[in-house]
Amino acid sequence: MIRIAVCDDEERAVSAHKRIAEDCLRQCGAVGEVLSYTDSRNLLYDITEDRFYYDLILLDIEMPGSTGMELAQRIKPFLPEVRIIFITSHIEYAIDAFELSIFRYVPKSDLDRRLPGAVTDALRLILLEDGKVYTICTNSRLEKIPYRDIFYIERDGKYASITAAGGVSKVRRSLQQVYEELGAEEFLYIDRGCIVNMIHIMQVKDGQAVLKNGVSLPVSRSHLQGVKEQINAYWGSHI
């Protein structure tokens, strides 16, 4: 089930944003719930103290007390994978929103047209990532790693080394075997010895793939053009 939080200090805005989120859930055929907050402190408490989990947060930037920008900074350590959509009337915040890896920025001046699209795009991405796991099964251990948690996989001698949100796991498989077992289009070779999960690539620049966790991985010259084309095709078909 997808959980969405809507936070705005104005009751009317909360009701309007909640209605849009609920409509998008229905249109995507997704099961979920939308919770409303008119006080940012309550949202922060639920996440940091009561450990509420949210997949998506619609957040007004201009609120009394903690601004949406400050709130996002405090939420991210507890919900590193959460998608946040900023809603604001001040366009200068867009630059800071990008630096916080915010999923989308929606200006209040164009809210009715752009917010449904932003929420729908976020839901499609969440649904795309949900439920897939890579299983490592040996005589001594059984480990399941969600696809969405995998950042990249590297060749390590006779092993494949999987770097994920929970740490590094090794499996006695060739890199090609792991790639075939994953069988998912979001994984691509950026080098003969490295596979990356496209959902974590922030940018490809100067021959490097920069990931959400801050790691930069070299893209071989022979793979560079293909990597860019695959990324564009992947997001073009899913978002």
End-of-domain residue from the set 101, 129, 157:
129
115: left (phi over 0), alpha (psi -120 to 50) or beta: alpha
- Whether 138 and 99 map to the same domain: the answer is no
Domain CATH for 71:
3.40.50.2300
Distance CA 223, CA 219 (A): 7
Kindly state the percentage of the chain with pLDDT values over 70.
92
> Per the structure block, which two tokens stand in for 230?
């695959």
Residue pLDDT, tens place only, 119-159: 999 998 888 777 688 988 777 777 889 898 899 999 999 99
- Whether 51 and 105 map to the same domain: the answer is yes
Q: Please tell me the predicted confidence (pLDDT) of residue 152.
A: 97
Q: Who has greater pLDDT, 35 or 139?
A: 35
Using alpha carbons, select from 66, 46, 64 the residue that is nearest to residue 10: 64
Using alpha carbons, select from 45, 41, 35, 44 the residue that is nearest to residue 14: 35
- Whether 7 and 69 map to the same domain: the answer is yes
User: Is the per-residue pLDDT at 221 higher than 70?
Assistant: yes
Parent domain of 21? 2-129
Using alpha carbons, select from 232, 235, 206, 231 the residue that is nearest to residue 219: 206
- Whether 114 and 211 map to the same domain: the answer is no
- Whether 160 and 229 map to the same domain: the answer is yes
